[in-house]
Amino acid sequence: MADVALQPNRAATAQAARKRSSLQSVLQRKSTIAFLMALPLILLIATLVIYPAFYALHLATLNKSMARFVGLGNFEFLFKRETFWLVVKQSCIFAITAVMFKALLGFIIAHFVHNIPAKGQRKWRGMLLVPWVIPPAMSTLAWLWLFDPSYSAFNYTLSFFGIGPIPWTGDAYWARFSVILVNIWVGAPFFMIMYLAALKSVPDQLYEAAAIDGANWWQRIWYVTLPMMRNIIAITTLFSLIVTFANFDIVRILTAGGPLDHTHIFATWAFRVGIEGSDIPLGASVSLFMVPILAVAAIFILRDISKRGNEA
């Protein structure tokens, strides 16, 4: 640009060159370069995310051998099965309970970490984030061993308090509890780290002002901390709701859906039906039931993000 202004001669020759090969000029345009740079990303998303998503819709309308179109036959079949409704119920219980406790626990831990002197915080934060860093498949194995029916280290410890052997993964209700517990263990550190970042961004003056006005600790949380963190809490919760709802690793390794399908959630049941039972269309139909709740959460997150974008 600068030398165009200084040397008009050169600009003229450049224009002539541009006329000579219009293809080259298109290739050198800023938007074309940008498009080419983003092209691999576009191709990846189009072929490996968007196409399979629609392909799943198509698959869901076929019969088991994938030779015949059955329309909504698979869904009809699912609605008549008791296991399906069990899975729906369990997915909702699993996701809602786990996210609630993760959010609550994360909030409490973040507060305690925030309370202690700044130079010790790093160490504690480092320790408390370990569950999030370990691959969930590996840590769930440790939990499986802690819950082992005959060698459970928890039951060993509890026996000293006279609490009889607990069937951690054997009984339907305990198995649900165990699966949720492990999920909370994995996910709470994520909330903790997000809330901690948010807590640090709340200006100290607000707390000082609240203290001068005579607010107790509860009022300080309710009227200062929570309103200031509302955005982060909303985004983290919605995000975690998606991830938890679509969870696979923990349930698969800990109980594999058992006992008697009482811990199956959408993802594990879709795997059982679609891959292990090689009924791909039915598996695809099962996993499609995750879409509505994911879509609702995604809309809320997007609204939030664009709102913040406008503010900035």
Partner 1 sequence: MTTLTIDKAGPTRKAKYGSMSRDRAWALRWSYFFLIIFAIFSLTPPIYMLITSLKSSAEISAATNPWWVFHPTLENYVGLLTSNQFLRFFWNSAMVSIFVVTITMLISVPAAFALARMRFWGSTVLATGVFLTYLIPETLLFIPLFKMFAVFGDFTGIQLINKWYVLLILYPTLTVPFCTWIMIGYFASIPKELDEAAIIDGASWFQTLTRIFIPVALPGLIAATIFAFTVSWAQFLYPLVFTTSTDQLVMPVGIITTLIKGDVFNWGQIMTGALLGAAPPLIIYAFLMDYYIAGLTAGATKG
Interacting residues with partner 1 between 170 and 189 (CB under 8 A):
185, 189
Tell whether residue 133 is a contact of partner 1 (CB under 8 A): yes
Residue of the chain from 35, 69, 79, 222 that contacts partner 1 (CB under 8 A): 35
Site for partner 1 in 246-275 (CB under 8 A): 246-249, 252-253, 266-267, 270-271, 274-275
The yes or no reply on residue 1 touching partner 1 (CB under 8 A) is: yes
CB 200 to partner 1: min, Å: 10
Within the chain, what is the greatest distance between any pair of CA atoms?
A: 95
Q: By rule CB under 8 A, what string of x and - marks binding of each residue 289-308 to partner 1?
A: -xx--x--xx--xx--xx--
Pick the closer one to partner 1 by CB: 128 or 175.
128
∠ CA 68-71-76, rounded to 5°: 115
Are 182 and 250 spatial neighbours (Cβ–Cβ below 8 Å)? yes
- Residue 77 makes contact with partner 1 by CB under 8 A: no
Kindly state whether residue 223 participates in binding partner 1, applying the rule CB under 8 A: no
Q: Which residues contact 249 (CB under 8 A, 6 or more apart)?
A: 136, 137, 140
Report the DSSP beta bridge partners of residue 69.
62
Please work out the total of residues on this chain that contact partner 1, with binding judged by CB under 8 A.
101
DSSP string over 7-26: -HHHHHHHHHHHHH-HHHHH
Q: Is the dihedral of CA 60, 63, 66, 70 positive or negative?
A: negative
Q: How far apart are the first and last CA of the chain?
A: 30
Name the minimum Å distance from CB 130 to partner 1. 6
Instruction: Pick the binder of partner 1 from 131, 165, 167, 170 (CB under 8 A).
Output: 131
Q: Dihedral sign, CA of 152, 130, 107, 180? A: negative
Is 157 a residue that touches partner 1 (CB under 8 A)? yes
Does 215 engage in binding with partner 1 (CB under 8 A)?
A: no
Asked if residue 242 binds partner 1 (CB under 8 A), the reply is yes
Provide, rounded to whole angstroms, the least separation between the CB of residue 179 and partner 1.
15
* Cα(195)–Cα(200) distance, integer angstroms: 9
> Where in 89-128 is the site for partner 1 (CB under 8 A)?
105, 108-109, 112-113, 115-116, 122, 124-128
Distance CA 212, CA 224 (A): 13
